[in-house]
Structure 1
């Protein structure tokens, strides 16, 4: 992989208002998180230092390869009037801009418009600027700013996507979903009337972009290495999905959102099978899709459980999923949620090939990958337990990979601990598919004795009775 050196960038701006200063700070933070070494007076100008000398040195320093002028109305006025620190900076900047016709060190970033016209210093003329003043276009134009910072010309840029992954020669994928995600998040959080459409647009982009992670076998490269690279490259997009579903769960979203999420999950399922145009294949060829589809479904359910959206969780569990055509067996129709679990054979092969000696690479991956999400691994285990218990009750086949780690848990998961309240348990019991505590007790008996239906990883397993805190359930109103 080729490393991309972090460019050093200085931000020139005016202390117009407290809100504007916070806006600039947020922009600087977002740039740093995207791999840019940002220099900002609030971070780098120390007490007692000469602010004018600091500004001059930043504009003229050759190691500072990029300078952006965050221009609002006050900045433009001070620049035109040569007033204050902004006036000093822009005097130097304007000279540098005119020094050569084709310069690429300076660019104006518009933070404010007046009567639809960008607020810019007069000296800047009709040069190209980057407009970050409109929320709807912010994501697209922020990516344009980053491409300028990293000297990635627009006429050769790939599809819009997360940064800085596409600026390297790594195996990272670019689904081109960041702008759609921003629109969807803003719409959901602000309760805009087009929120459902924005969410649908984002989910559709992810679903269609899924094709980009299809593994093309490379000569001289182990397939299991390619599989790990593929699922690791998807982490930013899994986190995007998590952030949107969390927003839907946290904010007062209409019931139609449940349908949007259900249809999105449904749209991923065909990827776990061969495409219609492929005749020669192995079942393991689609193992990256199988792992990711399982992971995404598990995260969505875990989020609904965490935020106590039990009706939304119930829809995921009880509403059938329609697949137009399952190409390996020619069948189409509706299926239960167990269609989101398929055995990933390549992981076992990898375990043996590398002599890793792990009980479950699938469990290890789910646990390790949870560290880069905003969801605690306990929430994934809680969701896996619900899926397993309900599956035993309703005939759905579900193998709870994450519960390999549940033998290290010494108490019930959160929703079961709260089920000490009978009222709370009345909401939780429908997820498992039992009518009352007595029926849950009968279900738990299946996991005891020599005929136990409990999953095992060699000698390791878990105790469902402890994880649901059975003795304490319903002991309070």
Structure 2
């Protein structure tokens, strides 16, 4: 995985002639074979009981990708959108990693991705904390907003479109990506201090009229199963969610929204049924 991280340098966008959003999208497309190779490796590892140290290795791997989303020291002249491909790639890798672990119920591997902070060296020179939460892995991509306007596509989210279109051939159904996105959203909401520590769940735009709970929360009707799942959210019991869910009920403007599209966290959690059975 160290080699995978180092090889990411090959996908750097710099000195683009023409429309930079075209270059960003083309670059992201060229990453698909590498992404698929990573996902297949992850699925194979998750299907067998991994050694305890595997959780830390994956966490450090994700950590090693984060610096790609910012300007490296050796580049002094640049367009601020030139790192947008990495913003997409790193975010996508994080989502797939979480999605695979949740699908195969490797909660002991998934939880550290959400609960442990990431060390990003070199940030101190900008007076920024060198330890950051997973929320920083999803960063705004201005180039895609520009592309949406330039091509007059009128899409609610080109980023969500790309995530869904690219899911084909991964061996993972898109609903698992949405489940991972929702878990990340809820974990961030539980610990959020401000808008900067929240998580924007890109893929949930495609929920549509899907109003039932995601699989891991449907299974968490069992108290035994809930006791495994609760580590993902950093809670002790379902009642720990009551205040947050009530705040959504009182003011739904706090929820992510795409024009008239949004979602109901309590329904996706199956909140009323959590831990109600042995």
- Post-superposition offset of 1:334: 1.1
Do structure 1's residue 423 and structure 2's residue 224 form an aligned pair?
Answer: yes
Stretches of structure 1 lacking an aligned partner (at least 5 in a row): 1-202
**1:410–1:466: 8 Å Cα contact kept in structure 2?**
yes
| 1:450 alignment counterpart | 251
Q: What secondary structure does 1:343 align onto?
A: coil
**1:275–1:327: 8 Å Cα contact kept in structure 2?**
no
Q: What secondary structure does 2:250 align onto?
A: coil
Q: Alignment RMSD, CA only? A: 1.6
Do structure 1's residue 217 and structure 2's residue 15 form an aligned pair?
Answer: yes
Superposed, 1:96-175 pairs within 5 Å as none
> Which deviates further from its counterpart, 230-239 or 253-262?
253-262
**1:407–1:463: 8 Å Cα contact kept in structure 2?**
no
Hey, what's the Cα distance between the residues in 2 that align with 1:425 and 1:243?
A: 28
Do structure 1's residue 204 and structure 2's residue 2 form an aligned pair?
Answer: yes
**2:181–2:204: 8 Å Cα contact kept in structure 1?**
yes
Do structure 1's residue 250 and structure 2's residue 51 form an aligned pair?
Answer: no
Hey, what's the Cα distance between the residues in 1 that align with 2:270 and 2:80?
A: 40
Q: Which runs of 4+ in 1 moved over 4 A?
A: none
- Post-superposition offset of 1:471: 2.0
**Structure exhibiting the larger radius of gyration computed from Cα positions:** 1
- Post-superposition offset of 1:407: 3.1
| 2:94 alignment counterpart | 297
1:380-421 C-alpha deviation (Å, 9 max, x unpaired): 111111111110111232110011112331311100110111
**1:258–1:312: 8 Å Cα contact kept in structure 2?**
yes
| 1:440 alignment counterpart | 241
- Post-superposition offset of 1:322: 0.6
**1:231–1:288: 8 Å Cα contact kept in structure 2?**
yes
- Post-superposition offset of 1:252: 2.1
Superposed, 1:271-420 pairs within 5 Å as 271-326=68-123, 329=126, 331=128, 333-395=130-192, 396-420=197-221
| 1:128 alignment counterpart | none
Superposed, 1:34-113 pairs within 5 Å as none
**2:98–2:180: 8 Å Cα contact kept in structure 1?**
yes
Q: What secondary structure does 2:130 align onto?
A: strand
With structure 1 as the length reference, what TM-score do the two structures score?
0.56
| Structure with the higher fraction of residues in helix conformation | 2
Stretches of structure 2 lacking an aligned partner (at least 5 in a row): none
Greater RCO, 1 or 2 (C-alpha within 8 Å, sep 6+)? 2
1:265-286 C-alpha deviation (Å, 9 max, x unpaired): 1111111000102223333220
Hey, what's the Cα distance between the residues in 1 that align with 2:269 and 2:125?
A: 38
1:17-72 C-alpha deviation (Å, 9 max, x unpaired): xxxxxxxxxxxxxxxxxxxxxxxxxxxxxxxxxxxxxxxxxxxxxxxxxxxxxxxx
Hey, what's the Cα distance between the residues in 2 that align with 1:446 and 1:455?
A: 14
Cα 1:408–1:329 shift into 2, 3 Å: farther
